[in-house]
Structure 1
Amino acid sequence: MKAIREYCLCLGNKKMMPTAVKVALVVGSILFTINHGAALIKGQMTGDRWIAATLTYIVPYLVNIHGQYISRYK
């Protein structure tokens, strides 16, 4: 439980956030283009697709913060 609490605190860590945001934007944009680019161009983005598209950016952020957390505190 302590590790989960510490990780959650790192999600808003001002030292870790800039790198995580950059990674999320680059990786998320690549994944968005691969997974949703055609639907966006065709105007076929549904609510479910927008939820998935949002996760496409959130997951790389979370993974990067996790990597930084592990490398700094473990």
Structure 2
Amino acid sequence: MRDWIRLATKRSIVVRGVICSSIVGTILIAINQGDVIWNGNLEIRHAAKIGLTYMVPYIVSTVSSVGALRNVSQ
């Protein structure tokens, strides 16, 4: 577990996750919440969904990157 966390917090992994999350998250928010934002009806529950929408691609990218690094080192 410590090895996984060490890899997941490497600068290159974090940067890759942030870039992926920024691109994919923004596209998903435009698709899923775009009408709410455009009409100015943004509420707290929408803000929570937006936060989660950015978190999911970050987590997927991080888990994939760590898995790939662990496979290469074996």
Question: Per the shorter chain, which TM-score range?
Answer: 0.7 to 0.9
Identity among equivalent positions (%) equals 24
Change (3 A) 1:6 1:51: farther
Partner amino acid for 1:73? R
Q: CA RMSD in A?
A: 1.4
Per-residue CA deviations over 1:30-59 (Å, capped at 9, x if unaligned) read 000001111001111110110000111111
Is 1:29 matched up with 2:26?
A: yes
Q: What TM-score do the two structures reach when normalised by structure 1? A: 0.84
Aligned residues: 71
The one-character-per-residue Cα deviations of 1:1-36 (angstroms, maximum 9, x if unpaired) are: x3xx54444443212111111110110000000011
Structure 2 gaps of 5+ residues are none
- TM-score normalised by structure 2 residue count: 0.84
